Amino acid sequence: MPGCRSTGRAPLTAVTLDLWHTLIYLPPAAEESYLHAQSDLATMTLSEAPVRAGRAALGEEELRQTFVEVYQAAVDASFAGRTIAPGEQFRIAAARAGRDAPASEYLRRLKRVIDEMPFGLADGALEFLEGLRRAGHRVAVISNTVGEPGAYLRPLLTRYGFDRFVEAYLFSDELPWTKPNPVLFRAALDRLDATPDEAVHVGDGWADVEGARAAHLRAAVLFTGLHEYGARYHELFMTHGGGRPSAEYTATTLREVERWIGRLLPAGG
């Protein structure tokens, strides 16, 4: 059963990691283009679909605004700890717009855009992950996937070599919860067979710090080394709670993060 512990085991230590702007990122201009592409694709897919009987035919800008409003609602829900997955966002927008538009077509087009995005790897990310495992820590990635299915990111992470070091990926679109919901953090720790007092979380935003606190993890490290965001991303995801969260431990490089973890957690088994 989740959360059960075998008696007499040696203590395990765990590190949970945010993904976007902690381990991978898009340059600001590309990030801006990517977020606009999401609404462009949704508008295109809605406009091509038949109008439902008895419904008015909305214009292109009205269709775009309908999707943007649903997307914003999904972002707001994520800060409350609840998931509205990308496919569900599109289905809600189609229903409001009175269009018989399949979410599968929107998601197919979205995957093509994601595959073409110039994702970058945080400086020293693989060395950082390798160092965590060498120290005996078990590692999980916890990501709020509001705008894209986690399944579309998995191939990228495999190509980067993350799978050698990461034992579990928790993408919010595949679960009912988002950060800062503490249930999501506890689900990650269950997969790693660790307890909150044996764990540290690392991330770049408010939901990371507040979620780790709510889940009673030993500590949260705020990583600020990739705090250069696209304007739209910053507006959507980084202004909650007044911007940069209050954190006891901060770091501008992953090497600094590793040093904090070395101080906060004993060497693992």
- What's residue 2's pLDDT? 38
Please say if the pLDDT value at position 11 is more than 60.
no
What is the rounded distance in angstroms from the CA atom of residue 228 to the CA atom of residue 209? 18
What is the rounded distance in angstroms from the CA atom of residue 269 to the CA atom of residue 266? 9
Please say if the pLDDT value at position 76 is more than 80.
yes
> 193 — alpha (psi -120 to 50), left (phi > 0) or beta?
left
| Least reliable range by pLDDT among 2-16, 171-185, 226-240 | 2-16
| Least reliable range by pLDDT among 1-10, 40-49, 69-78 | 1-10
Name the architecture of domain 14-26+119-264: 3-Layer(aba) Sandwich (3.40)
- β-pairing, 120-121 with 24-25? antiparallel
Please say if the pLDDT value at position 265 is more than 70.
yes
- What's residue 246's pLDDT? 81
Question: Tens of pLDDT along 59-68?
Answer: 999 999 999 9
Question: Tens of pLDDT along 223-257?
Answer: 999 999 999 998 998 887 655 678 899 999 999 99
Residues 49 and 233 sit within 8 Å (Cβ to Cβ): no
Structure-block tokens of residue 113: 């855009």
- What's residue 36's pLDDT? 97
- What's residue 266's pLDDT? 85
Residues 154 and 30 sit within 8 Å (Cβ to Cβ): no
What is the rounded distance in angstroms from the CA atom of residue 138 to the CA atom of residue 164? 12
What is the rounded distance in angstroms from the CA atom of residue 36 to the CA atom of residue 40? 6
Q: Residues near 95 by Cβ (< 8 Å), separated by ≥ 6?
A: none
Position 55, amino acid: R
Q: How many CB atoms lie within 10 A of CB 5?
A: 10
Question: Tens of pLDDT along 189-223?
Answer: 999 999 999 999 999 999 999 999 999 999 999 99
Average pLDDT score over residue span 129-141: 97
| Least reliable range by pLDDT among 17-26, 92-101, 164-173, 242-251 | 242-251
What is the rounded distance in angstroms from the CA atom of residue 185 to the CA atom of residue 181? 7
What is the number of residues in the chain? Answer: 269
- Mean pLDDT, the chain, whole residue set: 93
Please say if the pLDDT value at position 8 is more than 60.
no
Extents of the domains making up the chain: 14-26+119-264, 29-116
Please say if the pLDDT value at position 5 is more than 50.
no
Strand-pairing partners, residue 254, are none
Q: Residues near 13 by Cβ (< 8 Å), separated by ≥ 6?
A: 136, 137, 138, 194, 198, 199, 265, 266, 267, 268, 269
Please say if the pLDDT value at position 1 is more than 70.
no
Question: Tens of pLDDT along 27-56?
Answer: 999 999 999 999 999 999 999 999 999 999
What is the rounded distance in angstroms from the CA atom of residue 52 to the CA atom of residue 79? 33
Structure-block tokens of residue 194: 């660790």
Question: Tens of pLDDT along 95-120?
Answer: 999 999 999 999 999 999 999 999 99
Residues 184 and 18 sit within 8 Å (Cβ to Cβ): no
